[in-house]
Structure 1
């Protein structure tokens, strides 16, 4: 009897792929444990509660927090302006090269009247200096940064008043780096995209740049605005929602390839890291991909899902380990509707009888050759 006890005590020192289900549960209630965690049974009540919880991390509403009011028609340093000056009678800017709107003989038409003395003269494209000013003949230096093209037209007309007869100006923004956003990272076409009065949104910019090089589900969108930044999975942003924010000048949009995956340990056919390769993966699908519990060594009542939620832990909540009992029929329905998260870890516990089975197999390996030799010798 003492020899049998010694043999059984040797089972504890045999190699194992991980703790048993009972050991996981006892660790959760150990008062001396440095890292506290809780084990939640995935039964019907827990599943309903989980469905009502808003997912944390890169979830809905992250980019929406950066929404701001702003305008995209303000002139900024570096912008290129095309300026046309329209004059009547004697002109300051030379002979006519273009009419404001011509009828027969090239005379300008204003309503029902024809004024053959109206002339327009295009000024060369003017670039707004770093101090926000432009300089025009007979006008001098104007501070235009922060103004609209209409404001600049009024400035020019006021500056020419008394120098030219009924001067009128037309200002068109040819190029506007100051009213642009920048796309970089794993986008098909990186670079600068100008904003227009149509008020482009985040998904508009991504689509204009050709979209992501990889699937939307595995692409993270990082929006940087005014010293702040937020990120979400591209596949989680829906057109017209609060996260599809209206873009503002100077926004930087970065697309980052971050494939989602989960890991599998314990009594499985093999330890593995598995990519999602789909917009969503359920716990049932994840178990099927790793081959499910090993019939020889696994405890189907102790399938654990380790989930690290950084936001919840920062709020003072302990890490959560979900336990699924595959011996209960409803567990398969729950597993079919339980969504996997990026970097989840599945652990299938060893059966409590597994060490004993290993020890018996070891004894068979040790003594079976001697028994076989004895039988062969006796027969000969």
Structure 2
């Protein structure tokens, strides 16, 4: 290569370097640096966020708090599950002695037209269905209002209806198929379906056990109970066997179990931008950082780890406000503090890019630019 050509190459290289230096502030980046976040606080704060340093003073307010109890306890109310309702199939038997009405027997007749039988006998009337209006129809007795009554009450109604027609009649009523005192379980359970309420009153966790339990981790599951037109829900992990959330079920209740994992987001100078499941009832900020491998050694500024969250501010009645909590991992005490800070569902962790990365990126870009030129020069020799 001639000397003049080599000089032109040097001029081109110098021009490229000058342009690269001028555009250093626009080099590719995973996000803003700590100084850029501080500048946005003063100049371009459209959401009204504020930055709070995580230290010994602010740390206790960010400590683990009990998970919200949920609203299932609001549905707890007294009720009966031993009454008959529309759709139920009843088995009815009549026992008679002396003058009988239903039993075909020996000779002789009573004044009422029945048959005299000195021995006690029983007659099954077969299966009787409670109609949509809550009534049953029986021979010689007629229509009886059965809905809302127990089997014992229906027995006494039948016996009163047979007075004067049979001597000392006794009735026995049992529920063959229950269509009224049932509950429904659906969603992420092993055996969804319709189940009959047992005695004593069945509770929420009992109903889930009958349905085979959940197919996922309880920490990721939400249970919803619908009673009439009212629905309430809670995390399954927050329903304790002896707690107020483990309500007693009533006829017609619908229990739904669905997967709604708690997650947090990770952006910035990390090896991978990701959405991460909690996978536990409580998760600390230290554990959340460890699950993503911590700040990247090549890119991150460990003194600028941020936790973005909508938080209730003391004395502010306008609702949750955007707050950025800053953790300086260059301070040893920050590691103690981060172990006591509880993560919330949908929190966002941002790890700021180190300013020192800009020269390294510039050198990498220049190396990619000049490598072909140097290769051509070597071949020309």
TM-score normalised over the length of structure 1: 0.82
Per-residue Cα deviation, 1:174-212 (whole angstroms, up to 9, x for no partner): 222211110111110011111122111111000011001
In the alignment, which residue of structure 1 is the partner of 2:27?
14
CA shift for structure 1 position 370:
5.7
Within a 5 Å distance, the mapping from 1:1-380 to structure 2 comes to: 9-30=22-43, 33-51=45-63, 53-55=65-67, 59-95=68-104, 117-308=119-310, 316-366=319-369
CA shift for structure 1 position 242:
0.9
CA shift for structure 1 position 318:
0.9
Per-residue Cα deviation, 1:35-89 (whole angstroms, up to 9, x for no partner): 233333332333322337554xxx3132222222221122110011122222221
Q: Secondary structure at the residue paired with 2:57? A: helix
Per-residue Cα deviation, 1:251-297 (whole angstroms, up to 9, x for no partner): 11111123343322100112222334445433222212212111222
Q: Secondary structure at the residue paired with 1:117? A: strand
Cα distance change, pair 159–315 in 1 and its aligned pair in 2 (3 A): farther
For the residues of structure 2 that align with 1:77 and 1:319, how far apart are their CA atoms? 54
In the alignment, which residue of structure 1 is the partner of 2:4?
none
The root-mean-square deviation of aligned C-alpha atoms, in Å, is: 3.1
CA shift for structure 1 position 29:
4.9
Choose 82-91 or 21-30, whichever is displaced more.
Answer: 21-30
TM-score normalised over the length of structure 2: 0.82
CA shift for structure 1 position 302:
1.4
For the residues of structure 2 that align with 1:229 and 1:315, how far apart are their CA atoms? 27
For the residues of structure 2 that align with 1:343 and 1:46, how far apart are their CA atoms? 21
CA contact (8 A) 1:264 1:345 kept: yes
CA contact (8 A) 1:18 1:349 kept: yes
CA contact (8 A) 2:134 2:146 kept: yes
For the residues of structure 2 that align with 1:77 and 1:239, how far apart are their CA atoms? 32
CA shift for structure 1 position 26:
4.0
Q: Secondary structure at the residue paired with 1:292? A: coil
In the alignment, which residue of structure 2 is the partner of 1:107?
none
Cα distance change, pair 28–179 in 1 and its aligned pair in 2 (3 A): farther
For the residues of structure 1 that align with 2:252 and 2:214, how far apart are their CA atoms? 21
For the residues of structure 2 that align with 1:28 and 1:158, how far apart are their CA atoms? 84
For the residues of structure 2 that align with 1:315 and 1:91, how far apart are their CA atoms? 78
CA shift for structure 1 position 160:
1.2
CA shift for structure 1 position 17:
0.7
CA contact (8 A) 1:280 1:340 kept: yes
Q: Which runs of 5+ in 1 are unaligned?
A: 97-114
Q: Which runs of 5+ in 2 are unaligned?
A: 1-15, 106-116
Q: Secondary structure at the residue paired with 1:77? A: coil
Q: Secondary structure at the residue paired with 2:255? A: strand
CA shift for structure 1 position 15:
1.2
CA shift for structure 1 position 330:
2.2
CA shift for structure 1 position 333:
2.0
Per-residue Cα deviation, 1:16-43 (whole angstroms, up to 9, x for no partner): 111122333443455x633233333332
Rg bigger for which structure? 2
CA contact (8 A) 1:237 1:244 kept: yes
